[in-house]
């Protein structure tokens, strides 16, 4: 099965050592993007209702 590198879009096979990236360079570029806060993980925008308890985080 072949996938595309999320950075440069080159083909990557499932068993490649840098999967899902095509190379260490693309892996490091992705790590840099995370550390520069270019990526975000979204969360719920709607606050919980007052009669509802917030979910446990522990």
For the chain, the domains span 2-35
Counts of helices then strands in the chain (DSSP H, E)? 1, 2
24 phi/psi in degrees, rounded to 5? -65, -35
- Stated pTM of the model: 0.64
Residue 4, H or E segment: strand 2-4
The b/e string for 12-49 (b: 16+ C-beta within 10 A; e otherwise) is beeeeeeeebbbeebbeebeeeeeeeeeeeeeeeeeee
Residue 53: per-residue pLDDT:
66
pLDDT tens digit string along 11-53?
999 999 999 999 999 999 999 999 999 988 887 777 667 765 6
């Amino acid at each position: 099965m072949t996938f595309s590198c999320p950075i440069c879009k080159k083909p990557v096979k499932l068993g490649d050592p840098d999967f899902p990236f095509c190379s260490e360079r693309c892996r490091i570029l992705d790590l840099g993007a995370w550390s520069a806060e270019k990526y975000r993980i979204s969360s719920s925008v709607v606050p919980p209702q007052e009669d509802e308890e917030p979910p446990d985080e522990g």
